[in-house]
């Protein structure tokens, strides 16, 4: 069975890459960062069978929710800065935190149209689960469960459990409209490749799993706890390049950045992205659950 999805707060398209690989079709996307938009356009709009340009919008708050095409799965790596230990921890008091309510409003409108999506797939930093003495996550749970009527599943996820050589701890929230649906956390997989493979360094790298890719900023000394991009490779301190970051995040080999985009901007976008293989593995579970729900409804 084929499914349609929308890609909110899309960044450079990690959700898009994962669900496209699973055979789903993107029918609408939003991203307001101008540089991330250029990268998304290059990879998912200006390409064969790409998303129509008019279906890739900037500010989701300015979109008439009734005009969004019908879809089966809502994907959203909603802005994590308000919930991150690296941010100001303002939660719903921050406008970016309030963007979660845009997700809820879209689903509410679709339910009123009789077109409620079967699944929601949300991603954020793990600190979301503790923010504001758990009041933030409890508000999200109450909206998804009590207001919108979904069954919720929450998972603490690491990219390294899905074959990628970085830890990247995140929380995935999956909400299913069919309350008979069950989503179980998959068993950890072996690494498909190691950080040594990324550096083509044998045997002189002292780790198999690399540091979590971050938004970037000034590099720290390699022995500093804030170091994220420096590695001792064959006795030499070296810094990650964007193509290595693309590999570590699980993007397909064809993925590329627009010509002339700075290295710092590329690394920032990669640091903001989801780990594609982790999303793909949970995306397959969602699709399997939707398939089962359809079969059961058809008798």
Residue 240 lies in a domain: no
Residue 230 lies in a domain: no
Domain count along the chain: 1
Q: Which residues of the chain have pLDDT under 50?
A: none
Say which residue the tokens 């985009």 belong to.
261
Give DSSP secondary structure letters for 24-61.
Answer: -EEEEEE---HHHHHHHIIIIISSTTPPPGGGEES-GG
Residue 203 lies in a domain: no
Residue 80 confidence (pLDDT): 61
∠ CA(158), CA(163), CA(167), 5° rounding? 30
DSSP lists the bridge partners of residue 125 as 170
Residue 237 lies in a domain: no
Q: Which two tokens stand for residue 251?
A: 């993007």
Q: What is the CA radius of gyration of the chain?
A: 19
Asked if 80 is an active-site residue, the reply is yes
Query: Distance between CA atoms of 275 and 14, rounded to whole angstroms?
Result: 7
Q: Which two tokens stand for residue 149?
A: 């009527």
Residue 28 lies in a domain: yes
Residue 25 lies in a domain: yes
* Catalytic, out of 26, 47, 75, 80: 80
Residue 205 lies in a domain: no
DSSP lists the bridge partners of residue 154 as 173
Residue 22 lies in a domain: yes
Query: Distance between CA atoms of 141 and 93, rounded to whole angstroms?
Result: 17
Which domain, by its residues, includes 126?
A: 4-188+256-297
The DSSP symbol for 155 reads E
- Omega cis (within 30) before 241: no
Task: Tell me whether residue 144 is exposed, middle or buried, using C-beta atoms within 10 angstroms of its C-beta: 0 to 12, 13 to 18, 19 or more.
Answer: buried
Q: Which two tokens stand for residue 15?
A: 């959700």
Query: Distance between CA atoms of 195 and 211, rounded to whole angstroms?
Result: 9
Q: What is the CATH number of the domain that holds 23?
A: 3.40.50.150
């Amino acid at each position: 069975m084929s499914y349609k999805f929308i890609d909110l707060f899309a960044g450079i398209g990690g959700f898009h890459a994962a669900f496209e690989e699973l055979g789903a079709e993107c029918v609408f996307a939003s991203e307001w960062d101008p540089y991330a938009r250029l990268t998304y356009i290059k990879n998912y709009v200006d390409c064969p069978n790409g998303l129509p340009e008019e279906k890739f919008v900037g500010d989701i708050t300015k979109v008439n929710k009734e005009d969004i095409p019908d879809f089966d799965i809502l994907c959203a790596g909603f802005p994590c800065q308000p919930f991150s230990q690296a941010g100001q921890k303002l939660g719903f008091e921050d406008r970016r935190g309030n963007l979660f309510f845009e997700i809820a409003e879209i689903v509410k409108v679709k339910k009123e149209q009789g077109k409620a999506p079967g699944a929601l797939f949300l991603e954020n930093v793990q600190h979301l689960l503790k923010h504001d003495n758990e009041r933030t996550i409890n508000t999200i749970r109450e909206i998804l469960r009590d207001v919108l009527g979904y069954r919720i599943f929450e998972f603490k996820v690491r990219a390294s459990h899905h074959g990628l050589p970085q830890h990247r701890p995140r929380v995935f929230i999956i909400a299913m409209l069919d309350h008979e649906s069950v989503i179980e956390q998959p068993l950890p997989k072996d690494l498909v490749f190691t950080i040594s493979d990324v550096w083509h360094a044998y045997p002189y790298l002292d780790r198999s799993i690399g540091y979590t890719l971050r938004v970037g900023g000034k590099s720290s000394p390699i022995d500093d706890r804030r170091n994220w991009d420096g590695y001792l490779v064959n006795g030499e301190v070296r810094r990650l390049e964007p193509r290595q970051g693309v590999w570590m995040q699980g993007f397909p080999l064809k993925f590329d950045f627009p010509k002339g985009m700075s290295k710092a901007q590329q690394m920032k976008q990669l640091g903001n992205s989801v780990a594609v293989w982790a999303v793909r593995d949970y995306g397959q579970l969602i699709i399997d659950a939707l398939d089962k729900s359809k079969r059961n409804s058809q008798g």
